Each structure stands twice: as C-alpha cells, then as structure tokens.
Amino acid sequence: MSSWVVLLSCILFSSLLSFASWEVEARRFVISSLISEDLFDAIFIHKDNNACPAKGFYTYDSLIQASKCFPRFGNTGNLTTRKREIAAFLAQISHETTGGWATAPDGPYAWGLCFKEEVSPQSDYCDSSNTEWPCAPAKSYKGRGPIQLSWNYNYGPAGKALGFDGLNNPEIVSNNSIIAFKTALWFWMTEQRPKPSCHDVMVGKYVPTASDVEANRTPGFGLVTNIINGGLECGIPNDGRVNDRIGYFQRYAKLFNVTTGPNLDCQNQKPF
C-alpha cells in the first residue's frame, strides 16, 4: 500500500488537522525509527510458527503503515516515554493474541501475535441495547485483530473512524492486516469516557478524577490493563492474565532498553 493511500485513508480520523499539516506530521513521525524490523522479529519470535493460526498475517510493514494514521503514538514525550509506550502496546496485544504456555520454546512471552481472531467465542458479542451501533443480522463481533476488538459498540465507532463498515463487515479486521493494526491503535489512542486512553496513561497525560482516586486507579501499565479488560481481570490478587501481560511488558521493555515504570498490576484497582 502506497504512503498516499495510507494518508488518504486516515483523513477522517484526522479531521482536526488540515491535510497539509497532517501529511507533514505523519511523514515526520514514523515509529520505525524506534522499532526496526529486526527488533520486531526479535520481539515476535514465533508469530509465524506453523502452530499459529495468524501465521503470515501480522507483518512489520502493516504495523508501520497503520501507525501512520496515529502520529502521536510512540511520539509523545521523551525517548524513554516513547519507547515505553510502544513496548506497553506490543505487550498488551501480545497477551490478547498469545499462543504461549509455561514451557513454550523461548519462554511464554515469545509467542505474541499467534492468533488473529477469538477461538470458540461464547457469544456473538452483540449488545442489543446499544441502539447507536446496532448489530447487523447474523454477524459476530467476537475478538479480532491484535487488540481482539470486541462488541458492536467498538466495531461501529472503529469502522467509522478508520473508514470501514465495522457493523456489517467485522470480518475485515481478521482479513486485512493493516486494518487489524489500525483497530488496535484506534482503541489504544481513543478516550472512551470514563476511561482515559491507554496512550494518555502511558505518556503521563492521565489526570485521575475523584472517582479514579477512590478506585485506586493509579497511572501505569496496570491501569492500561484495567482499560482493556478490567471488568474481568482487575481487583483480583495475583491474576494469571494480568501477570501474563506484565511478563510480556517486562520482556519487551528490556528489548527497548527502558524501565517499565511503576504500578504494573491492577489487583488493587476497581474496574471502570
């Protein structure tokens, strides 16, 4: 996909910027300066293993192309903050798509991006009470893509922001690698009140409300986990899923040569 096609596909999401200024910004900030293809391959050692259903799907080029729609991603704050945000994002999508296990070759945290869609979903993830983003007949809004985008109320606005029909064609998220990465970055960058964006948390722009303080929602990687899946994972001592996310983050932070920062878990946080 040419850079011009990528630029044009992102106009809707960047409506607050003029085309000229956005084009300059998108060209100026490219995360490939912080994550090379060699580093990407070192992070995702087994993503193209024959045992992984997503073999060949999640390419380095697709990540870089998708990131051009989000010029603030990995480009806010000092160098350490920028690298830490990318490491945190890759850690979260690795857990969501993990194919690892305790005794896996190269360890359990070398198997991110193994799956591109949820296996054996327990429902079609349709919230029929949400009339703003009504479900299409016979469509499943199960987890797809790096962040495992789920529910009609996420597919709808993601599609609107990124230029695809999320309600009528949710399958595109597991059929198009660039769109898949775009949905993950859209979720990462987008505030969904009362939740802050994962981006704002990781770059230090999150300002806790009185309710956040009462719920002990302290800034850090654990709060990002709360944003993504706090209803199932947070407020639980030593939750295995939370620990898996942390394990990925710790490995990736070392590869980026940065620290993880504080507050890695959410066991003492109330979900949103």
177-211 per-position pLDDT tens digit = 999 999 999 999 999 999 999 999 999 999 999 99
What is the number of other CB atoms lying within 10 angstroms of the CB of residue 168?
15
Least confident span in 28-37, 137-146, 158-167, 225-234: 28-37
In this predicted structure, the answer to whether residue 45 has a pLDDT above a threshold of 50 is: yes
CATH classification code of 3-255: 1.10.530.10
Give me the mean pLDDT over the 255-267 stretch: 98
CA atoms of 10 and 7, how far apart (whole Å): 5
The residue-averaged pLDDT of 41-49 equals 98
The catalytic site residues sit at 96
Query: Structure tokens of 109?
Result: 């945290």
pLDDT confidence bin for 29, thresholds 50/70/90: low
pLDDT value of residue 30: 79
Q: 27 pLDDT exceeds 50?
A: no
Distance from C-alpha of 234 to C-alpha of 224, rounded to nearest angstrom: 11
Calculate mean pLDDT across residues 242-268: 98
Give which of 209, 214, 212, 232 is closest to 223, Cα–Cα: 212
pLDDT over 80 (residue 20)? no
Overall residue count recorded for the chain in this entry: 272
CA 157 to chain centre: 15
Q: What are phi and psi of 60, to 5 degrees?
A: -60, -45
Give residue 105's pLDDT band: very low, low, confident or very high (50, 70, 90): very high
Does the pLDDT at position 99 exceed 60? yes
37, amino acid identity: E
For the cut 60, the answer to whether the pLDDT of residue 171 exceeds it is: yes
Q: Is the pLDDT of residue 7 over 80?
A: no
- Does this model's pTM top 0.75? My answer is yes
